[in-house]
Structure 1
Amino acid sequence: MKRRDFLKIAGAGAGAFIASDLLTSKIAHAAGGRLTVAISSDAWSLDVRTSSDVTSLNVDKQIYNGLMNYDADSNMFPDLAVAAPEQPDDLTYVFKLKEGVQFHKGYGEMTAEDVVYTYDTIRGAIETGQNFFLSLWLKPLAKVEAVDKYTVKFTMAEPYPDFLDTSTMCKIVSKKAAEEFGKDFARNPIGTGPFEFVEWVKDDHILLKKNEAYFTAGVPKLDEVYFQIIPDDTVKVTNLITGQVDMMKEIPPRNLEQLKSAPGVVVGQVPGTQTEQLYFNTKAGPFQDVNLRRAVAFGINRKAIADKVFYGMAKIAYAPTPGWQLPAGDYPADMTKIDYDPDMAKKFLKESSKPDNFEFTCMTTAQGWFVEQLTVIQANLADIGIKMNIEPLEKSVMFGKMRVWDYEASYEDLNAGYFGYSPATAPLFYTPPSRQLGWEDEHGLKAYDLLNKFLVTVNKEERQLVYGDFLKILHDQVPYTQVVYVDSTDAWSESVANYKVGTPNDSMFWETDLS
């Protein structure tokens, strides 16, 4: 996949006043071999089987390996596997494992037994008492077995063309450590990755150190990675410019031009898969009425959000994933596009169960750009006669309420690329009736059947047709509506070498170095 060139900016501008002693302190800070990365929020869980938030997944990608993996340019490569699997038929994948790969902290060699255990716990063949959402992607998997110490055989119930993609998502855990720690494994992660876990101080930092026994020579180059939790965007930007941190994840859009002009700062920006979305509770409350969902969806001025909130660092979203992720590389020609249309919104509102004085509350994450986006949407909806109240919450609290359907609407993002690149990834995360939307009517069940059919359809043209049928239901029933796709952006000190921004804005610090 093509990438934009990275922008290396050095010159006059808002940051040109920085004193030479601050620049010197930046170099001294970097020379110790610790990369300090500013992030906005704490992790939820470092058990890679259950992780679903951005911070957890960024940290996990340093601690764990999958059988296959993606590099920052979205190229798939063998990771714990010696090579791509042998496929004697459409239902069978046989992986040969690298020998001698060691788990962190003396937990022994990674073998086929650990691979089988990881996949079996995820898909529920071994009861652990935890909810492994990754099981959604393993529905076509009938059996995983250890042929010998270094050979694993996967047998599908039906052909599964995205299985290799799934094998990048399912990172391998130590069976011994996972059984020893149980649910506490989430705070005591043991993988085989280039960095091993050291400590986690809630709402302050997560520290990783170099895995001296990593199976790839010369990797990693860094001694430590220190994730510093800094919720305030202004503080993050200032700390990067003044050299108190080496990198910041997810540039605040309003600071993009400032960082591009700051001396000694490098900005990386590529088209992203992060989708800002508004989710409706279709199980209970007012949004059981499809016309209310339609009214809100057509009442959102997406271009205004792309321009005013993201300063052009986002593009209008018409589906759960960008068109390039679909089998044909673009949206179906006959796909309905939900976009700003106040007259259409008023029409649906008039046909709804609450044509007058409709009021609802929308939860969102109490940080970053979420409230800013909802403020624009709030004004849009007021213009068509709908009052929306904004309720900022801590992210885990918000998702906790969604899990028990204790909400009316919720606004969040989903970065599908964190999990995989199949176009089914984003819908599977929310669409199944058992998940947060509670979309249990005939339309939701049919949409879910189409997603499952998509997973096991091999022919590319047929897959595109199946996905197109899914999108028709989605855009007619609107259980959730997409707003914008946000570019992946990071910024870092020029002393940081060999780092790239990946499409899902994830972090690959394996080759990163400090000068």
Structure 2
Amino acid sequence: MHKLLLAALLAGSAVASPLLTQSAAAADLRIGLQEDPDVLDPDQSRTFVGRIVYTSLCDKLVDITPELKIIPQLATGWKWSADGLTLTMDLREGVTFHDGTPFNAEAVVANIERSKNMPESRRKSEVKSIESVTASGPYQVEMTLAAPDATLLAQLADRAGMMVSPTAAAAAGADFGNKPICSGPFKFVERIQQDRIVLEKFTDYWNADAFHFDKVTFLPIPDTTVRLANLRSGDLDMLERLAAPDAAGVKSDANLQYAEAVSLGYQGITINVGNGDRAKNPFGEDARLRQALELSIDREALNQVVFEGVFAAGNQPFPPTSPWYDKDVPVPARDVEKAKALMKEAGFESFDLEVQVANNPVQTQVMQVVQAMAAEAGFNISLKSMEFATLLQEQTAGNYQASQVGWSGRVDPDGNIHQFMTCKGGINDSKYCNPEVDKLLDAARTSTDEADRKAKYDAAREILAKDLPIIYLYHQTWIWALDEKVEGFVAYPDGMIRLENVKFKS
């Protein structure tokens, strides 16, 4: 009797095992984000975390390696004309968008024209050099430039090169971000603001075998402590932007993995100098007050207090490790007496300043340290805490005096400065406008000589160091923490999470 029961149980388990194997094969990845992205439309969005979601959702014409080399993605090859005015790209065949629309040359033409012409597009300055784009074959496009543009390929490795379904884009217009349809390895399922963004595997993806998760869920958790606690409890499988003070603890935890890469970007304080009525105050109108605020800040101390020295102090859009960094304009030492003298010269013994800041502990602590330092020079800083996407909306609208905000950085130096500092730059929320800076930065875009480009960036920086529409504070190191069961993750300096060949250990 017992032998029969045992045989039946064994037979039952043999029958059940394929089902168990199927269940075990299902893999859902949960990623903790520091903020909730803004609109999920590559042409309209601007958040760093939005770009993380796009990495799984929207393929680009080209991508980068961890060493920042441009490599094929939807474009398989490209060549420049001798005069640098025509870029010809050969496109990948057999690709479809998530709604079944075929990817081809006409789709690329529609995407570039959308970036150039859609009223809500924030990519206009990034593709400004493209005078026209035509389909020179079913899977080939020619981009004709008004002038040589050394930055264009790098732009096409980011949101300007992300391809969305022209069918869906035409139907949805400015509301495309409510249900984004691209051609990436995962397709959009749902979004609940401040809670989650859910993607599922796109089985018809051209490189589907390299992606091993059935579903990817992005969970915005602004509190770094809570985000790490969720990873440790098993409610997350990985997180981005681990707080620097937690790095040692993660490294020593056998159940977790640690990964890092020096970033391409910066964190700073953007100042409203010309964006509506809130710029019409002494801080927005008198550079001496902005210079005084900068002199009141000890960037090295800020790095030590908040980040335990893991990050790098900075005063430019490029980190000190970058070949584009202007060594003739080093990080200024703190000088409270000089700051006071500048304030007095501007007619103030003290000055009230409101700075908006994202409602996460790290950025809040950054501004609390700045607040304490600036107080010694006579600045009375009040902090206005808000959700990150709202903070960006307020910046765009000009409803701010100063804002602690950063930029994740771009492969080409132009991406860190042109759109912020030129009069019509797509992300120039300070509305700073200096024709000489425009002239220098526009010229740097057209030169293919690196020494010539650097000289122009240096000259622009000399002006910007005095005008200070942005006070740069530091350059962060991207830090990821992962559950020990995750394998295949590669850290990139752009901070993106690429899931190709990433999977759970067997």
| TM surpasses 0.5 | yes
Whether the 8 Å contact between 1:30 and 1:495 is mirrored in structure 2 is no
SS in 1 for 2:365: helix
Is this contact kept in 2: 1:36–1:227, CA < 8 A? yes
In structure 2, C-alpha distance between the alignment counterparts of 1:407 and 1:228, rounded to whole Å: 28
1:98-117 equivalences in 2 (<5 Å): 98-106=92-100, 108-117=101-110
Asked if 2 retains the 8 angstrom alpha-carbon contact of 1:272 and 1:485, the reply is yes
* SS of 2:392 mapped into structure 1: helix
Distance 2:351 2:305 in 1: 26
Work out which of the residue numbers 34, 38, 59 in structure 2 matches 1:40.
34
Matched residue, 2:415: 425
TM-superposed deviation, 1:432: 2.6
> 1:36-90, CA deviations, whole angstroms, 9 ceiling, x for partnerless residues?
1111222211111222112211111111111111134433211111223353541
Cα distance in structure 2, aligned partners of 1:69 and 1:87: 21
1:297–1:339 CA contact under 8 A, matched in 2: no
Relative to the length of structure 1, the TM-score reads 0.88
- Does 1:269 pair with 2:254? no
Write the deviation string for residues 149-181 of structure 1: whole angstroms up to 9, x where unpaired: 111001111111121111212211111110112
Alpha carbons 2:165, 2:181 under 8 Å: kept: yes
3-state SS of paired residue (2:472): strand
CA distance in structure 1 between the aligned counterparts of 2:132 and 2:192, rounded to whole angstroms: 39
Give the equivalent residue in structure 2 for 1:371. 364
2:295 equivalent to 1:302: no
Q: Which residue of 2 aligns with 1:135?
A: 124
Please give the residue correspondences for 1:102-501 in structure 2 after superposition, counting only pairs within 5 Å: 102-106=96-100, 108-124=101-117, 128-130=118-120, 132-169=121-158, 170-216=161-207, 218-283=209-274, 284=279, 285-287=281-283, 288-325=285-322, 329-335=323-329, 337-354=331-348, 356-416=349-409, 420-434=410-424, 435-440=428-433, 444-501=434-491
The code of the aligned residue for 1:174 comes to S
**2:29 maps to amino acid:** L
Report if the CA contact (8 A) 2:272-2:398 is conserved. yes
- Partners of 2:296 and 2:264 lie apart in 1 by 23
For 2:333 and 2:402, how far apart are their aligned partners in 1? 19
For residue 477 of structure 1, what is the amino acid of its counterpart? D
Encode CA deviations 1:465-491: one digit per residue, 9 max, x unaligned.
111101100111111111010101100
Equivalents in 1 of 2:453, 2:273: separation in Å? 27
Q: 1:318 & 1:373 partners in 2: Cα distance?
A: 15
Deviations 1:460-513 (A, max 9, x none): 111111111011001111111110101011000111111022112111012211
Change (3 A) 1:235 1:483: same
Residues 171-195 of structure 1, C-alpha deviations (whole Å, 9 max, x = no match): 1111111011222210211111111
The structure whose Rg is larger is 2
Aligned AA for 1:136?
Answer: S
Q: After alignment, is 164-173 or 394-403 more displaced?
A: 394-403
SS of the residue aligned with 2:75?
Answer: coil
1:334 to partner: Cα distance: 2.7
Q: Matches of 1:255 and 1:31 in 2, distance apart? A: 32
Question: For the structure 1 residues 251 and 230, does the alpha-carbon distance in structure 2 shift closer, same or farther, using more than 3 Å as the test?
Answer: same
TM-score scaled to structure 2, two decimals?
0.89
Ranked by relative contact order (alpha carbons within 8 Å, sequence separation 6 or more), the top structure is 1
Aligned 8 A contact 1:336 1:472 in 2? no
In 1: Cα distance, 2:314 partner to 2:391 partner:
23
Please give the alpha-carbon distance, in whole angstroms, between the structure 2 residues aligned to 1:73 and 1:385. Answer: 45
Percent of pairs with identical residues: 24
Partner of 2:481, secondary structure, is strand
Contact 2:61 2:72 survives alignment (8 Å): yes
Residues 152 and 228 of structure 1: CA distance in aligned 2, closer, same or farther (over 3 Å): same
Aligned-partner residue type, residue 397 of structure 1: T
| Distance in 2 (alpha carbons) for counterparts of 1:324 and 1:113 | 41
Q: Structure 2 counterpart of 1:139, which letter?
A: K
Distance 1:232 1:180, change over 3 A: same
State the Cα distance separating 1:30 from its structure 2 match. Answer: 8.6
CA contact (8 A) 1:194 1:219 kept: no
Map residues 44-59 of structure 1 onto 2, 5 A cutoff.
Answer: 44-59=38-53
Query: Equivalents in 2 of 1:32, 1:99: separation in Å?
Result: 29
> Separation in 1 of the partners of 2:494 and 2:72?
19
SS in 1 for 2:170: helix
Name the CA shift for 1:49/1:245 in 2 (closer, same or farther; >3 Å).
same
Q: Which moved more, 1:462-471 or 1:161-170?
A: 161-170
**RMSD, aligned CA:** 1.9
Q: Which residue of 1 aligns with 2:12?
A: none
The separation in 2 between residues aligned to 1:476 and 1:502, in whole angstroms, is 33
Pairing 1:94–2:88 present = yes
1:334–1:86 distance in 2 versus 1, CA, 3 Å: closer
2:71 aligned partner: 77
